[in-house]
Amino acid sequence: MSINEKAGAATPANTSCQRAAGRANIANKSDPSKFGGPRIFIAGKIRPYCFRHDLVPGLRSEWDGRVALPCDGFTYVGPFMDACDHGCRHGPASHGVLGVAGFGCEGVEATRSEVYQRNEFGIRIADLIVAYIDAPDCYGTIFELGCAARAGTPYVVLFAPEIDVPDFWYLQQAQARFRAPHVVSRRQLPSVFASILDQWRLAQ
């Protein structure tokens, strides 16, 4: 079964009509009402053994091309990467799924168009986006937060201690307000993430 059949993603689209059809196809096969809330998109740099594995149980072993992964108390709606422990698809600008597999790994293949459509869908249906910036060259993350602001999806930005936070002042202007520190170590991240989810639930 192809990635398109599994995730409901369209084949690479070159026109706005094709892109719209692709988004509709994803939505039809992934009814957001069936996801256990809140629906969380976790933005940030994708790399082998990244921070998401501390927050999303099963991300390494249970993703098979779907656009949502049920977790304990929330539904993870992206982004997704092919985590085989070898880092096979974690090449430059690969988003964790575009690199060439090796070591006999098969994994999940995707095109850039499919990655974009899947992420756009995740951002659009998310109840909240939590971004963790632990690298200054997180260009995709910045774009994703811009998409969230345009879609009216609330987001909160957390920073690793090594990041020069004032460089990201523009992102902070539109973020949702939570009682959480702006600078968070990876060790602290799971507890801060859990606190943000609790605050989101209480506000509903």
Q: How far from the centroid of its chain's Cα atoms is residue 196's Cα?
A: 16
Structural element, H or E, at residue 100: none
pLDDT at residue 32 in the model: 56
> What is the SS3 assignment for 126?
coil
pLDDT given at position 132: 97
Of 30, 29, 48, 51, which Cα lies nearest the Cα of 39?
Answer: 30
Judge contact between 60 and 69, C-beta under 8 A. no
Residue 7 exposed, middle or buried by CB count within 10 Å (0-12, 13-18, 19+): buried
Sketch out the chain's domains with CATH numbers: 3-203 (3.40.50)
**72 with 115: CB under 8 angstroms?**
no
* pTM of the predicted structure, to 2 decimals: 0.74
How confident is the prediction along the chain (204 residues), in pLDDT tens digits per residue?
Answer: 332 333 343 333 333 333 433 443 444 445 555 667 799 999 999 887 889 989 998 787 665 667 788 888 899 999 887 654 444 444 454 444 444 444 444 545 567 788 888 889 999 999 999 999 999 999 999 999 999 999 899 999 999 999 999 999 998 888 888 888 899 999 999 999 999 999 999 998
User: Cis link prior to 57 (omega < 30° from 0)?
Assistant: no
